[in-house]
Amino acid sequence: MLQAPQRTGLSGPTLIRLLTRLTDVDVPESRQSLSDHLSQWLGWTDAIALSAALNTSPPVIAPGARMFSSAEERECARVRTTLADAIASDTAATSAKRIVPGQAPAKKSAAVEQAEADYSNFRQRYLSLQHTMETSVGNLRSRLRGMVAAKNGEMTRLAVVDAIMDRALLPKERALFGAIPKLLQGHFERLRLAEAAALAPVDAPVDASVDAPVDAPAAEADAAPPTDGAAKLDNGNGNGNGKAPAPATAPPPVTPGAWLDVFRKDMRSVLLAELDVRLQPVEGLLAALRAS
């Protein structure tokens, strides 16, 4: 079974550590704090809006808004489960060519599937799943933000800050998440090449004795059974028990096409880790609603 290259990962979220392990990009760990990074990502208009939200009285929300209940807890759990299931089913089924709706999938051998493997199909599915995550999580975040704002006071201020940060950081978030498929392409190609090298035939060593002239009497002497003395001498100079040395253990055979299964598993792990990152603001809003 082919394995991803093991590299020392950075500290931080699972997504960062996974990408560090799967790629050959050696990125030093940043010494900047989170606030320093955010100051670089926020434009001056966003900074002004954020400052105003933090330093002025929060707006008063009219009563009558829907209140938080266990239904929202269940909805958050449902969205997470639905997205995780979509990731698991899609990455398990992603192959060289997508199946047309209504068309029965044709069974292919591992060799054929490996030969037809094209990363563009995996990239397309990754981007599609990213779009689904962004839409579903964004809608859920907006819904919870409205419930936080309905609490008035500091909770309303929190909702305003969340809305500003969501709008300001969305372009940067899209750019960073959009770079992930490109990073995985290198991992895809390395796995493919590693299996191709493992399956390449090894040239047999040349036996010099085949072409060498053989003296007839010597050949007959070699073919004659050894005498008792010769056998005893062999026992003394061999391994001591008269037995032939055990052959070296052969490495386990490489299954053709196994690298595709490894890549699908790694792609699924990265997508699930990305989902966790996308859901962090939702978890923050949920925690605020539970505490109110």
Distance CA 157, CA 159 (A): 5
Does residue 266 lie within any of the structural domains? yes
Instruction: List, for residues 238-283, the tens digit of each pLDDT value.
Output: 555 555 555 556 556 667 778 999 999 999 999 999 999 999 999 9
Q: Which two tokens stand for residue 190?
A: 């390395």
* Core vs surface per residue 132-147: b (16+ CB within 10 A) or e: ebeebbeebbeebbeb
Going by pLDDT thresholds of 50, 70 and 90, the confidence category of residue 173 is very high
257 Rama sector, left if φ>0, alpha if ψ -120 to 50, beta otherwise? left
| Domain-located, residue 71 | yes
| Residue ranges making up the domain that contains 176 | 42-98+116-199+254-291
Q: Of 292, 289, 290, 2, which Cα lies nearest the Cα of 147?
A: 289
Q: Is residue 246 part of a domain?
A: no
Res. 203: pLDDT tops 60: no
| Banded pLDDT at 32 (limits 50, 70, 90) | confident
Q: 245: which 2 tokens?
A: 């040395």
pLDDT band at 183 (very low <50, low <70, confident <90, very high): very high
Region 31-36 average pLDDT? 76
pLDDT: is 17 or 131 the higher one?
131
Determine the average pLDDT of the residues in 48-63.
77
Among the listed ranges 38-52, 198-212, 215-229, which one has the minimum average pLDDT value?
215-229
Count how many domains the chain has: 1
- Cα four-point dihedral sign 8, 272, 131, 114: positive
User: How does 258-270 read in b/e, with b if 16+ C-beta sit within 10 Å?
Assistant: bbbebbbebbbbb
Residue 62's identity, in one-letter code, is: A
How far apart (Å, rounded) are the C-alpha atoms in residues 1 and 109? Answer: 18
Please, are residues 180 and 19 in contact by the beta-carbon 8 Å criterion?
yes
The HSE-up count of residue 247 (CA atoms within 13 Å, CB side) is: 3
CA distance linking residue 169 with residue 42, whole number of Å: 7
Phi-psi category of residue 87: left, alpha or beta, with phi > 0 → left and psi -120 to 50 → alpha: alpha
CA distance 48 to 61: 22
**Position 7 pLDDT exceeds 60:** no
What pLDDT, on a 0 to 100 scale, did the predictor assign at position 54?
85
Domain-embedded: residue 72: yes
> Is 23 among the domain residues?
no
Instruction: Calculate helix-pair angle for 119-149, 258-278, nearest 10 degrees.
Output: 20
Mean pLDDT, rounded, for 154-175: 92
Biggest CA-to-CA distance, the chain:
113
Note the pLDDT tens digit of each residue in 77-126: 999 999 999 999 987 776 544 444 455 545 544 555 554 578 999 999 99
Residue 275: CB atoms within 10 A of its CB come to 21
In a domain, 163, yes or no: yes
Can you tell me the distance from the alpha carbon of 291 to that of 210, in angstroms, rounded to the nearest whole number? 85
Question: Is residue 61 assigned to a domain?
Answer: yes
Q: Is 57 domain-assigned?
A: yes
